[in-house]
A and B are shown apart, each in its own frame.
Chain A
Amino acid sequence: MSGGKTDTGNEYLFELATFLAISARGCVDEPPSYGPFRLIDGLSRLIDLPKYAACLSEDKFLEDIKNEVDEKKYLVMSDMEGFRRFLDELVRRFAVELKKRSSK
């Protein structure tokens, strides 16, 4: 997560839930572009869940996605077109991975 360490999966889950609830309220009044930003930031945070929850294992594909998200998420503040392209490419990668996993 972009913040401090939590010790257990439950604590981390609570942190994620807090983030989502507060983001939902914020998005009612905030600029429209904050919506996709919160979702993509939430995705990055969600991918960290296995670090805190013993029952989950880390996922290389998602780890790569997280690294890319953390590198490019701020495009939303300066280059909306670039942000859109980044999201399109992200979605394409998910589709390829989905198909790959479905064919196993």
Chain B
Amino acid sequence: MDVWDAVRGRRSVRKFKDDQVEDELIRKILEAGRWAPSGSNMQMWGTRKFVVIKDKKTLDMIRKVSPGYLGTTPLAVLVCSDQKVAYQKCGKLGRDYLTIADCAMAVENMLLMAYSLGLGGCPVKSFSSTALKHILEIPEGVEPELMVVIGYPSKKPSTPPKIPLEKITYVDKYGDKLFK
């Protein structure tokens, strides 16, 4: 699939079929996340961690403590940051900002890959970190940043309105419009 088609065609899917996601596809999605950029190349130190959740009972628990996890999916990937390592390698900026940006970039890669494979996904931030840490036995110093719920869409969402480029783009100086 062309990159432009993936970027424009991807939607946040919230209604899914029960069909399982094949392991081969899960690996491709994770690889896409692994290849995402990272600030100061922090990924090499393992600051970005992916927790794949496939077990039905665990998924059910995760859903119950995540108000933003709407519908049921056969798969979820929790993207976490190792804050201790990030601080050691990149200081406060690394721990407080880069980790979040890095996880977000990985999630976007995953969502685009999922879409290109015929799957649908939705990024979820509305979850209880406290509850997730307990359920998934996440160690101290590791923070759940963003979750991606993935499955085969049962319904393709309509295209949401997007703000026109003219309203958000400037040239050379903030306020000078690039497109008129």
Q: Which residues of A contact B (CB under 8 A)?
A: 2-4, 15, 18-19, 22-23, 25-26, 30, 34, 38, 41, 74, 77-79
Closest B residue to A42 using CB positions: B67
A-B CB pair tally, cutoff 8 Å = 39
- Taking CB atoms and an 8 Å cut-off, the chain B residues in 12-28 that contact chain A are 14
Q: Is the CB of B128 within 8 A of A26?
A: yes
Taking A3-B64, A4-B63 as contacts, is the C-beta distance between A78 and B72 under 8 angstroms? no
Q: Are A18 and B65 touching (Cβ within 8 A)? A: yes
Closest B residue to A16 by beta carbon equals B64
- What are the residues of chain B within 8 A of A18 when measuring CB–CB? 64-65
Contact across chains for A78 and B161 when beta carbons are under 8 A apart: yes
Chain B residue contacts of A34, Cβ below 8 A: 126
User: In the bound complex, what is the Cα–Cα distance between A44 and B71 (angstroms)?
Assistant: 13
Q: Decide: B70 and A2 in contact? CB cutoff 8 A.
A: yes
Distance in Å: Cβ of A66 to nearest Cβ of chain B: 14
Interface size classification for chain B: 10 to 19
Known: A18-B64, A19-B67, A41-B67. A30 touches B72 (CB 8 A): no
Decide: B160 and A22 in contact? CB cutoff 8 A. no
State whether B60 touches A77 (Cβ < 8 A).
no
User: Is the contact region of chain A dominated by helix, strand, or loop, or is it mixed?
Assistant: helix
In Å, the complex CA distance between A22 and B63 comes to 11
Q: Which residues of B in the span 142-180 have a Cβ within 8 Å of any Cβ on A?
A: 160-161
- On whether the beta carbons of B128 and A78 are closer than 8 Å, the reply is no
In the complex, A77→B68 CA distance in Å? Answer: 12
Quick one: CB contact mask for B119-131 with A, threshold 8 Å, 1 for yes? 0000000111001
The answer, among B60, B126, B161, for a CB contact under 8 Å with A26, is B126
Shortest Cβ distance from residue B73 to the other chain A in the assembled complex, whole angstroms: 10
B63–A25 contact, CB under 8 A? no
Q: Which residues of A contact B64 (CB under 8 A)?
A: 3, 15, 18-19
With A22-B65, A77-B160, A78-B161 as given contacts, are A3 and B71 in contact (CB-CB < 8 Å)? yes
